[in-house]
Amino acid sequence: MTVHVDSAIWHWKGRRWCHLLADNEAELHRFAHRLGINRLSYQGPPKTSAPHYDITGFERDRALRLGAVASDRETIVALLRRVRRPRPDVPAPALAALAQPGTAPGAAPASTAPVAAE
């Protein structure tokens, strides 16, 4: 299993932050434990749909030394899509609508939307 980190570009509370992700949740938690990251820092269902930890740039450096892979945005987005799980507070029809670009939950698809008469 591979553990991934993206670039530490997110500024918050005077630090730069990034994401720690893995191919499966068990590996993610094992690696975070090795890093000394508190389990309370976990960001996953039900808070978010994609299991991950937010870590500082300093923790990112340690993660890389422990074997995490520095991954670009495309790799991280693909991984997020693979590992995400539906959130229990979001109804299934809303999730289906979000999966279709250009549609909102409850809205008709653009190709079948009524056209206003002039």
Element (H, E) at 28: helix 25-35
Residues 42, 24 contacting (CB under 8 angstroms):
no
E runs forming strands in the chain: 3-5, 10-12, 15-22, 42-43, 52-56, 69-70
Supply the pLDDT for residue 107: 44
109 by DSSP, 3-state: which? coil
Q: Which of 13-17, 55-59, 66-70, 85-89 has the lowest mean pLDDT?
A: 85-89
Q: Average per-residue pLDDT in the chain?
A: 78
Domain boundaries, the chain: 3-87
